[in-house]
């Protein structure tokens, strides 16, 4: 059994760690609420914007179809992996990096050239250790994501795709379900496809809770609508598609940002609870050690008394 002094030092050290994790939990909870509000409030706009883009792709003629939805038989694959800049977020980074690595290995088995775009320091550090081909890194985002944070990434992706560098661009990010549940998910981004956009839209609308009523609205929106496009379908579709791709990128980053803060808050809460449980265990050990010391002293006194009596 450890000495009383050692146990007291451990209790004090664990208590200090518990105070730190409790403070970090409160900070993460504040950021989570802000990020969650931003992600949730952006869902109706993202849903309607992507639904509009999906409809226009279905209604556009082959002549009006721009470079953003032209499928290419040859070329490299761009794979965007969204992680966090900071750690202490539980399984948030581990889950997304595991999925991304599995996808990367599968594509490379098919002899495809895959270039990574690392969003967040954790993804960049992870794939550098794996000697993966990293085309670009985007780090140092705001704690609560803004449009200015997502703009450089979306512009880089659009520029490289229109230039013909990649035949397709895929996103690997985390979808915010609730404060306790976050799911890593794969999202094909480019070339634009109406069915793939519908999947992103379906993922935006929650099954229950806030904005769940949007799923009812979407039932009547699946009907085909004829658009009158001026000055020309190609010019309008090209410009509109670029803007709506930026919306899609921003939405995916907002969802990941809210998931990150939720995962960090939950991890810090678990750490605080574990610290309290450990303090209770150490306090019990300290009481046992104190009781053993008292018992030993009483035994020594009784033994000494008996020795003097016999003399």
* Domain encompassing residue 100: 28-264
Q: How many residues make up the chain in this entry?
A: 311
pLDDT for the residue numbered 263 = 84
273 occurs within a structural domain = no
- Reference 23, options 229, 265, 258, 263; nearest CA is 265
pLDDT in tens, the chain (311 residues): 567 777 777 778 878 787 787 787 777 777 777 776 766 666 676 677 767 766 666 665 544 555 666 677 777 888 889 888 888 888 888 888 888 888 888 888 888 888 888 888 888 888 888 888 888 888 888 777 777 888 888 888 888 888 888 888 888 888 877 777 788 888 888 777 666 666 666 665 555 555 555 554 544 444 555 656 666 666 677 777 777 778 778 878 888 888 888 888 888 888 888 888 888 887 887 788 778 777 877 777 777 667 666 55
**CA gap 116, 307 in Å, rounded:** 81
5 lies in some domain: no
Q: Report yes or no on 236 lying in a domain.
A: yes
237 C-beta neighbours (distance < 10 Å), count: 24
| 139: number of Cβ within 10 Å | 14
Give the Cα separation of 36 and 278 in Å (integer).
32
Number of H helices and E strands in the chain, helices first, is 7, 5
CATH of the domain at 166: 3.40.1380.10
Q: Dihedral sign for Cα 271, 272, 278, 281, please.
A: negative
Q: Is residue 149 part of a domain?
A: yes
159 inside domain: yes
| Cβ-contact 122, 97 below 8 angstroms | yes
The pLDDT assigned to 54 comes to 66
Tell whether 140 is covered by a domain.
yes
Q: Does 47 fall in a domain?
A: yes
User: Quick check: is 137 in a domain?
Assistant: yes
Q: Three-state secondary structure along 87-108? A: CCCCCHHHHHHHHHHHHHHHHH
Angle between helices 92-109 and 121-129 (to 10 degrees): 40
Give the 3-state secondary structure of residue 64.
Answer: coil
pTM of structure: 0.72
Domain count, the chain: 1
Ramachandran assignment for 209, one of left (phi > 0), alpha (psi -120 to 50 degrees), beta (any other): left
């Amino acid at each position: 059994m450890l000495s009383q002094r050692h146990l007291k030092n451990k209790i004090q050290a664990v208590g200090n760690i518990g105070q730190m994790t409790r403070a970090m939990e409160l900070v993460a909870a504040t950021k989570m609420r802000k990020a969650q509000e931003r992600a949730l409030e952006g869902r109706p706009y993202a849903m309607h914007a992507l639904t509009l883009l999906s409809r226009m792709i279905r209604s556009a003629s082959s002549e009006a179809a721009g470079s953003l939805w032209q499928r290419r038989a040859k070329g490299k694959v761009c794979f965007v992996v969204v992680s966090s800049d900071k750690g202490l977020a539980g399984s948030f980074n581990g889950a997304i990096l595991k999925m991304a690595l599995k996808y990367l290995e599968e594509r490379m088995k098919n002899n495809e050239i895959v270039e990574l775009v690392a969003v967040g320091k954790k993804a960049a550090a992870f794939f550098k250790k794996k000697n993966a081909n990293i085309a670009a890194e985007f780090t140092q985002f705001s704690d609560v994501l803004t449009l200015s944070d997502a703009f450089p990434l979306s512009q880089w992706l659009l520029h490289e795709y229109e230039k013909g560098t990649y035949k397709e661009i895929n996103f690997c990010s985390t979808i915010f379900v609730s404060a306790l549940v976050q799911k890593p998910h794969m999202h094909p981004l480019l070339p634009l496809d109406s069915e793939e956009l519908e999947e992103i839209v379906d993922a935006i609308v929650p099954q229950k809770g806030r904005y769940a009523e949007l799923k009812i609205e979407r039932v009547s929106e699946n009907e085909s609508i004829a658009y009158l496009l001026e000055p020309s379908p190609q010019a309008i579709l090209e410009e509109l598609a670029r803007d709506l791709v930026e919306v899609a990128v921003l939405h995916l980053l907002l969802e990941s940002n809210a998931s990150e803060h939720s995962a960090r808050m939950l991890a810090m809460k678990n750490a605080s609870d574990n610290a309290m449980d450990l303090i209770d265990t150490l306090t019990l050990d300290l009481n046992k050690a104190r009781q053993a010391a008292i018992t030993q002293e009483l035994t020594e006194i009784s033994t000494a008394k008996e020795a003097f009596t016999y003399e």
